[in-house]
Structure 1
Amino acid sequence: MTFKSDSCTNTRIEDCYIVSGDDCVAVKSGWDEYGIAFGMPTKHLSIRRLTCISPYSAAIALGSEMSGGIEDVRAEDITAINTESAVRIKTGVGRGGYVKAIYVKGMSLHTMKWVFRITGNYGSHPDNHYDPNALPVIQNINYRDIVADNVSIAARMEGISNDPFTGICISNATIGLAAKAKKVPWICTDIKGMTSGVTPRPCDLLPDQGPEKLSACDFPTERLPIDMVELQKCSSSMNYM
């Protein structure tokens, strides 16, 4: 089973246990020129207290159909077990759109291939009418307070040549590598950002700012409108004659 949020505003996903052969939560907003023309982003999405098992995909995936934009996604208290990656951003040339203001806090991860995964070469298209000059904007991506064990590769984060993904921030993350982990734990190209308190040592494109920056990566304190919606509860009884 996969939860899908496509061009949605003010959505809340919480207290879910998901076993999936695909991404546990898929966040989208339209595909290539059609998503650009429709122009309806997914925004103000809250994901809390999620437990995910997905051996072949991500706990939370943003894209690859993100041409209408994805912004202000907040994920916290996430547990992933035997899952290919934690939060994955997928996009490519021709998508246009943006993924920005993504906030992740408090992840407990057990047995996975990648913790941090950003893909800038996700190349599938619905047809041949997409604009090859439509480059996506990926910026202000925040991860903090993460513990992971039995991980093959800490990160594979690949932007697009001449279109780097910027504002990537990772703080207070401890990644325990598997016994047969890859020799190079971080793979980074065409990205810009910073880290603080991250083990193992990140790639040079994400320089460590020191322990005084442990809380540097943003997580908003103001509540989303959807967080203030209270579900009504009701009860009923049946009298049998």
Structure 2
Amino acid sequence: MLDTTNPSASPSCWWAPSSPTNGSRCRRWIPVFFSGNLCATHKTFFAVLSVVLFSTFFYWQFDATSGGFSVFRRAFPSRELPRLRRVAFNLTDFGGVGDGVTLNTEAFEKAVAAISKLRGKGGGQLNVPPGNWLTAPFNLTSHMTLFLAEGAVILGINDENYWPLMPPLPSYGHGREHAGPRYGSLIHGQNLNDIVITGHNGTINGQGQMWWKKYRQKLLNHTRGPLVQIMWSSNILISNITLQDSPFWTLHPYDCKNVTIKNLTILAPTRGAPNTDGIDPDSCEDMVIEDCYISVGDDGIAIKSGWDQYGIAYGRPSTNILIRNLVVRSVVSAGISIGSEMSGGVSNITVENIHIWNSRRGVRIKTAPGRGAYVRQIRYRNITFDDLRVGIVVKTDYNEHPDIGFDPKAFPILEDISYTSIHGEGVRVPVRLQGTEEIPVKNVMFQDMSVGLTDIKKHVFQCAFVQGRVIGTVFPPPCENLDLYDEQGHLVKESVSQNVSDIDYSF
């Protein structure tokens, strides 16, 4: 026993408590540097040094992905898979082979069936080990965690005959590309609760090249399917994975509630990969999208809620959505979009701390006569533009319709939209707000904006049928449609006409 009353007692090791596995093992983790006659100054120094070293060790070893501590920070050939559920299976338990050639659809289906039997016991976890796991589309079940290890790649099979056909989405009434049925998604779920898709940055790869080529050659008779689609479900977490080369939209939550999407990398070629949107919340409520990197062939994020008369009839808005801390690139489209399919309504959206680079457009709202509904209570804060053609866009003539049955007098309402702390450089047209007499843009606000231009031309802040205000200093100078206020909120200059149009598509 250590004599704590005798200052000359200097133990040669630190004793760990006994346990069934380690007994009373002497651990020489802390050597004795000083003898029993150590002076008080050295004792104080050693105590402080020990605390600092101990704290630093725990700080650097904390592994945020698994929620625990890792002994070393270097990469290992394989990492132990955390148990996020009480019961965990490996895909190999069901005959899975990760050679990139063997078809593993049956293994995934058997694993999901086994987990579905555990709903009353908290569900189960399916671990996908390192390897290339070729599969046709498969479904998830409630109370399930799909965990992709580091080096695990789920590969979508390159044959559309393996992809099931599904009815059109009820709020669309029509396939997005063709009338009638649409292809399902590689990973799919309906009417589920408590779904987790996560990992050590494993990958779900749709191998979309075949789909993109056939789409361009008009060889497909049905609308392409998303990579991951979850419908009519709640309590969803998708994190810490890479989604790559989707045939169509990449991640499509449809009519879902309580969704968290974080720490994703979403990739597709920025050209030649049509309609590969990154994340498309569609008629969703209570959602957070944060800490993601997105570089794709269409909109980085596109918030939707149904298409024309079908979306109006379905009547499910997208509401209460927070999007923050993203880096986005969209060479052919926009970083963050709302619409154009927004016929169920879109409200209470916050987009903040976003860096959009090397893109055609920055943040965009797009709609058209026939959409109906509304886009309101939209807040953009702390947005950085870097090398864009157009920074802020509102477009009201995005005339794509499912069929001739839409009501051309169903005019959407656009109101209560704010842009605060908008900065950047290398932008040709910082602002283009194109309202119309039937679809005016109401109560728009700009504050704290400074965007560097690539072209020194007039009318780079373009407006038509816009009503709202500018607070404080904004560069470039705002259009004449907006009232000017000082930083204290005092009216400086009232707009002469809100209907003035200086939209210029020549640059």
Deviation at 1:25, TM superposition (A): 0.4
Deviation at 1:74, TM superposition (A): 0.7
Q: Paired residue for 2:60?
A: none
1:74 to 350, 363, 368: 350
Q: Do the aligned residues in 2 keep the contact of 1:6 with 1:29 (CA within 8 Å)?
A: yes
TM-score by length of 2: 0.41
Deviation at 1:57, TM superposition (A): 1.2
Deviation at 1:181, TM superposition (A): 4.9
Counterpart CA distance in 1 for 2:316 and 2:439 is 23
Q: Paired residue for 1:127?
A: 403
Counterpart CA distance in 2 for 1:181 and 1:40 is 44
Q: Give yes or no for the alignment of 1:45 onto 2:321.
A: yes
Q: Which residue identity lines up with residue 183 of structure 1 in the other structure?
A: K
Counterpart CA distance in 1 for 2:392 and 2:483 is 16
Deviation at 1:120, TM superposition (A): 0.7
Counterpart CA distance in 2 for 1:121 and 1:7 is 22
Q: Do the aligned residues in 2 keep the contact of 1:151 with 1:181 (CA within 8 Å)?
A: no
1:158 to 407, 423, 434: 434
Q: Which residue identity lines up with residue 61 of structure 1 in the other structure?
A: S
TM-score by length of 1: 0.85
Q: Do the aligned residues in 1 keep the contact of 2:388 with 2:426 (CA within 8 Å)?
A: yes
Q: Paired residue for 1:92?
A: 368
Counterpart CA distance in 2 for 1:85 and 1:182 is 18
Deviation at 1:182, TM superposition (A): 4.3
Q: Which residue identity lines up with residue 212 of structure 1 in the other structure?
A: Q
Normalized per residue, the structure richer in strand is 1
Q: Paired residue for 2:494?
A: none
Counterpart CA distance in 1 for 2:459 and 2:436 is 21
Deviations 1:30-69 (A, max 9, x none): 0000000000000000101010011111111000000000
1:117 to 390, 393, 415: 393
Q: Paired residue for 2:50?
A: none
Q: Do the aligned residues in 2 keep the contact of 1:153 with 1:182 (CA within 8 Å)?
A: no
Counterpart CA distance in 2 for 1:56 and 1:208 is 34
Which structure 2 residues correspond to residues 5-44 of structure 1 after superposition, within 5 A? 5-44=281-320
1:212 to 484, 488, 504: 488
Deviation at 1:213, TM superposition (A): 4.0
Q: Which has the higher contact order (CA 8 A, sep 6+)?
A: 1
Determine helix, strand or coil for the equivalent of 2:483. coil
Q: Do the aligned residues in 2 keep the contact of 1:144 with 1:172 (CA within 8 Å)?
A: yes
Q: Paired residue for 1:59?
A: 335
Counterpart CA distance in 1 for 2:486 and 2:447 is 10
User: How many residues were matched structurally?
Assistant: 213
Q: Which residue identity lines up with residue 467 of structure 2 in the other structure?
A: K
Q: Which has the larger radius of gyration?
A: 2
Q: Paired residue for 1:183?
A: 458
Counterpart CA distance in 1 for 2:285 and 2:457 is 39
Q: Which residue identity lines up with residue 184 of structure 1 in the other structure?
A: H
Counterpart CA distance in 1 for 2:489 and 2:448 is 9
Deviation at 1:169, TM superposition (A): 0.6
Change (3 A) 1:167 1:123: same
Deviation at 1:108, TM superposition (A): 1.4
RMSD: 1.4
Q: Do the aligned residues in 2 keep the contact of 1:92 with 1:160 (CA within 8 Å)?
A: no
Counterpart CA distance in 2 for 1:162 and 1:126 is 21
- Please, which runs of 5 or more residues in structure 2 have no aligned partner? 1-266, 268-277, 491-507
Deviation at 1:166, TM superposition (A): 0.2
Change (3 A) 1:19 1:131: same
Q: Which residue identity lines up with residue 390 of structure 2 in the other structure?
A: W
Q: Do the aligned residues in 1 keep the contact of 2:304 with 2:318 (CA within 8 Å)?
A: yes
Q: Paired residue for 1:201?
A: 477
Deviation at 1:162, TM superposition (A): 3.2
Counterpart CA distance in 1 for 2:305 and 2:385 is 27
Deviation at 1:16, TM superposition (A): 0.2
Q: Paired residue for 1:234?
A: none
Deviations 1:181-220 (A, max 9, x none): 5432122111111112210101011232123249xxxxxx
Normalized per residue, the structure richer in helix is 2
Q: Which residue identity lines up with residue 21 of structure 1 in the other structure?
A: G
Counterpart CA distance in 2 for 1:162 and 1:61 is 21
